[in-house]
Every structure is written in structure tokens, then in C-alpha cells.
Chain A
Amino acid sequence: MLKALFWIALAAALIALPHALSFSQQEILVFLTINVLLVASYRLLTLTGEWSLAHVVIMGVGAYASAFYTKEFGVFVPVSMLLGAVTAALVAMVLSYPLFRMKGFYFLIGSFAAGEIIRLLWKRFRDPFGGPKGLKGIEPMPDFSIGIYDFDFFEPVSYYYFAATVVAVCLWLMWRIERSPVGLTFHAVHWQDKLAQAAGVNVQAYRTLAFVIASGFAGLAGALMAHYIGTINPNSFDVEVMVFVLTWAIVGGTATFYGPILGCVVLTILNEIVLREMGFEQMRPLIYGAILILSILFLPNGLESLVERALKPFRRTPASGTPAGDAPPASPASDTP
């Protein structure tokens, strides 16, 4: 009952939220919502213990693919977004063959190289990728009305409602996946890979599966982004953006489902709203870097550890030996390659 009330209150708050914000904050909210999907999908990938540097490029694959399908074949935008996600998942599957011959640090570097190859292909082939300038004039979501509300997708509030619905469904799917036997096997592959292998688990297949599913969701995030801004270029998906995703995951923590989301929300508000409003426009990279260092020094288990600590008194002690959090503990210090 309490749980149901919590979810109803959260949904009501998320519906009301854009109306309490300024126009520019509504814009930021749209991008934040999309980034929540990106970072949550990244955590799904890290469940098997591998940290990729190609995740943002895979997001770009979804963006480019979705833009391409609408531009070239006139595919209906929502369908094209789904096709973009499928394309990103397929590209990830192809990449998984060489990449999952590696592990740990080698996988990390390999994924970076694979991502850069894809980015260079976008730059090199002006047709169909638009070269360094990328694609512009990407078809927006078509406006429609549901009687009580007119969706004008130029307006950030409308797009936020659309994106938030898509992201909520995706988060629910990811949650279900993590809680399913497949998800538990992902954890086993991470923490006890030899034991899992001995028990007959095809470790490489499960790593590939996590990579492909996570990439599909990242691709959908890219498609959501592309059809909102109306333009994409290779620089929108470069390693700098990937560093932001890593920062959100590390500062938020990856032991729980909500950790990276928390990191993404807190750091985006800090970087895009608080520091700008305080007049520190040009000092933001410096302050942002300092916060990252401080959080690693003083919060090695991420922001989620603060929440866990705050919620501890309200939690029942687990009956068996399962950990108190949502997943086995994974500090960035031990988890990051």
C-alpha cells in the first residue's frame, strides 16, 4: 500500500514538475529525462562487470538510424525511434564478437576504439551521414491531441511528457530484466564468473546479451534526442559526452538501480542550473571537476550510499544472506577498470 502511494505521488510530482520550472529549465528537463535512460542503460551493461567507452556512440547509432529512416524512407517517427533502437542493438551485437574476446581494461580500450571507428565513419561518409556537420532538419515528432491535452512537440513540456513515458517504460523493463533470472545471471557473471561457467552458464553469451540490451535502450535515448533537437553530428557523441556518463555513474554509484540516475539528476542540476544561475558560467568545468574529485574522496560508494544510509532505519533486515541494496555492492574503486 505504502509502495503504491509512493509511486502515485512520484508520478504526480513528475507530471506537475515542468509547470514549476522556467522555460529553459523545461528544456534541460527534457535532456535530463533522455540522459536518465542513457545512464540507466549504461548500468545494465556494467552489471556483467564490463565498462564500455562506446555507449554514447551506440546512442548515436540509434540517433543516426532513426533520423535516416524518417528522412530517407518517411518512416513514422515513433516507429523510426524503435527501429533506431533495434539498429543500435544490432550494431552492438556485431561489435560484441571482437569486443568480448577481451575483458576488463582491454575491453574498455577496445570499446573506445570501436566507438571511434563508428564516429569516423559518420565523418567520412557525407552520404548518408552528413559528414562532420552531421544531419539537420530531422523530422520532429508529429503533433497530436488527446482531447484534454494538445501535444505540440516543439514545446519542451509536451516532449517531456512523451520522453518521460518512454523512459518510464524502459526503466520498468530494465528493472524487470535485472530482477529476472537473466539479470541474476548478469550479476553472477560479474561477481562469480568462474563459478557461473562451472555451473554451465555461457558467460560470453550473457555478456553479449547485456551489451545488446543496454545498447538498444541507449539507441532509443539517441533517437529521442535526435527528433527533439532536429540535428545531430559526430561531436554530439564523442568521448567528452562519454566522460559525463561515466561521471554520473561513478558519482551516483552503480550498486543500486537508482544510483546512476541520482548521479545524472544531481550533477545535471548542478552543472546546468545552479552554477549557471550563480553566474559561474565560465568556471563550470573547473567546479564540476572539483566536485567529481571531492565526491570520489568523500563518497567513494556514490550518492546512493547516502540514500542507503538514510533509508537504513526504515528497512527490514533481509531474512537470508541477500544484500540490503538492490544488487551486490559494487564500489567504483573496485568495479571500474
Chain B
Amino acid sequence: MSHKRILSALTRRGFLAAASTLIGSGLLPGIATRVHAADKVIRIGFLAPLTGPVAAWGKPGLDGCQIWAEGINAAGGITIDGESHTVEFVGYDNEYDPAKARTGATKLIREDEVKFIMMLGGDTWPGVQPVADRTGMLFSTLLPSDLSPETTTLIAPAEVHPIYNVTGVEWLAENKPDLKTAVMCAQDDALGLPSVATYLAAFEAAGIEMQSEPLLFDPATTDFAPVVTKLISGNPDIVCLDTCYSDYVHPICEQLFQQGYKGQIISCTADFYDQIIEKTSKEFMEGMIFQFPDFDDPALNAEGINFKDPNKFFEVYNERHPGEWGAVSWEYASIMDLWKAGAEKAGSVEPDAVLAAMKDGGTGLHAFGEAKWWGKDLFGIDNALVGNWPVVVIEDGKAVIKAMKSIPDWYDKHGELLKKHMTAYNQMWNQRG
């Protein structure tokens, strides 16, 4: 009887009444936003995984963008040709699936009329590329391995993953010269492999010997005990966690702790490192090197840092999303800083005009300082913005920026090494696809 009652309650009239009540009360933000949207609004698309295993590199970015938009709108919005415009983000959860990414790109461009789309990239970019080619829409990716000579409307302005990982190894070699042997593990996927090649080049440049071939594990791995046992069997000075997802970094660190490893750990990311400390110990995590700072770090108030008021941004973010700060929380917002500057300079929000303005002069104001548009060697196109990158170390349970190191300087000295390892792992642009 009860299910019959439920079904009878699900009438069209009932549904519409409930929906209108929800819209009125603001509980359906997607619909409510459209109703109140002003005329002079610039819509920006956010096409990234918001659910599923890769959501940690999507959702925190959208949260960061909302904070960025509030700040910009409160300060008068974006000025285009003397007129002020507010910014609105339209999100689409692509679930890290190329088919859904294609659908999302179509919706954002043809229905929501966005002027720029930010993506995580990776597996989802090939699904979107035909849409980008047809429409000329400007896209950004966090993964420059998506770049190729054909991707003329795709830019990687926030991070040159995984090239910045060389800065961590360089700092390690300068500050802990007694560490001479390393091992590495990574998931065998589009994020893991170019990072493996980069770390191999960085270790070779730093004179650090690899004890064994990088251990590539299947992305479906859930039991890391045997991985770690094999990894540390030769008692290495350094364990490198490559660009593992946080779902891997956490259990690997736990296993390293449980299996008594006492050496140096280096990783691309250490998202939610406070949780790793809870599972291991402050002493165990002391000295771990990674690449993504907390934005309450005083070093980010230095001259030359272009991210506006990073400490305040971090504070607001943590108030709203406690415990969710991660590698990408600030990155999409920093891309928006660049896009805003480009649009204001161009006096237009049209994708080609903004792109031309952003790349004008061959340099741009990256979050961590002035940077240059670069990448022809590795990606076949100069659409990656590269400059300084922070080296972050955990000290007394807190991430601290220890240095800002130049990626182009490293590349000028060791570029051939990087190309050698990238080629060995089929990661050069002309080897992909």
C-alpha cells in the first residue's frame, strides 16, 4: 500500500509545486541563478569531474572559483570596453568521461553561451577537442600533456604538470646532498607516466641514482602493502610518489609508516596532508616534499606573487569548505586572473581576442610570478605558461614554502634529459595518440 501512496503523490502537479517552492526558497541554485542573472554577465564554463574518483581535482577548483567570482563582482566585476560585467560560473560534471565532457562542452558553449571553459583535461580532453576545433572556444587545462600543435585554442596557464616536479628534486639535492638513492611508484595512466619521466630526468640531473625501475601499479589497486614492500626492499634514501591521486598517496604513506620506512618522501601532491599525519605521525611526515602550498603561507605575500590576497582566499575557503583545501583549490581561480587580465586588455570576451591578448609579448602574470609562454619542445606549441614554482616541505605538521625555483632555468640546463625520458615513455607530443 505504501508504495502505491508514494506513486500517487508523484503527480506532475505535485512535482511542479515542489520544484517551484524549492526554486523560490533558493534551494535549487542552478535554476535560481538563471532567474536572477543580470544582463551584463560573463559566463565562464567549468567542465571538470565534480563526482567520482577524480573529483578531488575538480570540485575544490569550482569552490575556489566561486570565492574568486564573489571578490571580483564585489569589486565591480570585469571591465570590458569601459563597461562593467559580473562573472558567473556554470559548472558541468564530466565525471572524467570523454563522452560526458563532449556533452558538457556542447551545453556550455551552445546553451549557456560561456566565453571560456576551464577543464582538468587528461582523458576528457580528446572528447572535447572536436567541439573546440569547430567552435573556436578557448579552453584551459591543468595537464599540458593535452597540448599539441593542433590544440590551438587550448592553454595550460596554471600549472605545467609534471615539469614543475623538477623543482622539488632540485631543492632536495641542494639541501640534502647525502641522499643518493631513490625509488618511485606511480599509477599506470595519463597522469602517472609523464610524471615518471620528469622525476627520472630530475633525479638524473641531481645525481640521484634510481635503485630500480619505477613501479607502475594499476589504477584499480586498493591494497598498497605489497607495492610498498617491494618499493622499499632495497632500503632507498628517497621514496618518490610521483603524481599519485590522493586516494593512493594516503594509503602508500600509511604503508610506508607501518612498514617502518624512515627515509625521505617526495611527491607531486599531498592533498589533505593533515589526514595523512593523523593516520601516521607528525614525526613520520616531517620533511616530506611536495609542490602545492597552503595559501596562508607568508611567502605568498612576497613581491612578484600575482595571486591576489592569497591568505584571505585561504581563510575564506577553509571557512566554507573546512578540510577540503587541495592542489587545485586555487589553480582555476588563478587561471581566471589571467583570463580577466586578457579580456580587459583585449576589450573583448571573444575567445580569439582574449587568447591573443593573454599571449601578447610572450609572457604572462602567473600566480607565482612573471612567466613565459612555452612548450614548443615538449608539446609542439607554446601554450603553457611556465615560470617559478614553489617547493613545499612539511614542518611540524604544516606545509611551508621553502623556495621558489625556476622551471625554465632547470630546463635550460637539463632539457635534453627531460626529452630523453619523455621519449622513452612515449610522452612527447608526436608520440601520443
Contact = CB atoms under 8 A, between A and B. Distances in A.
Interface in B405-433: 426, 432-433
Contacts of A231: 98, 126-127
Given A27-B106, A231-B98, A282-B59, A136 B433 contact: yes
Contact of B127 (A28, A156, A229, A285): A229
B218 interface: yes
A137 B126 contact: yes
Interface stretch (B27-35, B341-349, B386-394): B27-35
Contacts of A28: 103
A295 B7 CA distance: 11
Given A126-B426, A136-B126, A298-B6, A31 B99 contact: yes
**Centre residue among B29, B31, B99 by max chain A CB count within 10 A:** B99
Given A22-B111, A23-B106, A297 B3 contact: yes
A154 interface: yes
A46 B433 CA distance: 37
Contacts of A297: 3
A66 to B, nearest CB: 16
Interface string A27-65: 110010000000000000000000000000000000000
B123 A233 contact: yes
Interface in B14-63: 19, 22, 28-32, 50-52, 59
B172 to A, nearest CB: 28
Contact of A23 (B99, B111, B426): B111
B296 interface: no
Interface-central residue, A27, A120, A135, A232, by most chain B CB under 10 Å: A27
A136 B107 CA distance: 22
A285 B95 CA distance: 11
Nearest to A155: B134
Nearest to A123: B188
Contacts of B31: 277-279
Contacts of A133: 123, 189-190, 432-433
Interface string A288-302: 000000000111000
A281 B190 contact: no
Contact of B103 (A24, A230, A299): A24
Contacts of A230: 126-127, 129-130
A78 interface: no
Contacts of B130: 140, 154, 230
A137 B426 CA distance: 17
B103 A31 contact: yes
Contact size range, A: 35 or more
A87 to B, nearest CB: 21
Contacts of A281: 30, 50-51, 91-93
A130 interface: yes
Contacts of A299: 3
B97 interface: yes
A282 B107 contact: no
A132 interface: yes
A333 to B, nearest CB: 16
B110 interface: yes
Interface in A131-154: 131-137, 140, 154
B207 interface: no
A130 B52 CA distance: 24
B58 to A, nearest CB: 10
Contacts of B123: 133-134, 233, 235
Nearest to A295: B3
A269 B107 CA distance: 16
B304 interface: no
B219 interface: yes
A131 B432 CA distance: 10
Contacts of A123: 188, 218
Interface in B173-197: 188-190, 193
A317 interface: no
Nearest to A140: B130
Given A31-B99, A229-B99, A137 B218 contact: no
A241 B32 CA distance: 32
Contacts of B32: 279
Contacts of B190: 132-133
B102 interface: yes
Given A136-B433, A154-B134, A298-B6, A27 B102 contact: yes
Contacts of A140: 130
A279 B29 CA distance: 6
Interface string A256-299: 00000000000000001000111101101100000000000111
A23 B432 contact: no
A23 B110 contact: yes
Contacts of B218: 120, 123
B222 to A, nearest CB: 13
24 contacts: A22-B111, A24-B107, A27-B106, A27-B107, A28-B103, A133-B189, A133-B190, A137-B433, A154-B130, A229-B126, A230-B129, A235-B96, A235-B219, A236-B99, A276-B92, A277-B30, A278-B28, A279-B30, A281-B30, A281-B50, A281-B91, A282-B50, A297-B3, A298-B6
Given A31-B103, A276-B92, 5 more contacts: A132-B219, A137-B126, A277-B31, A298-B6, A298-B7
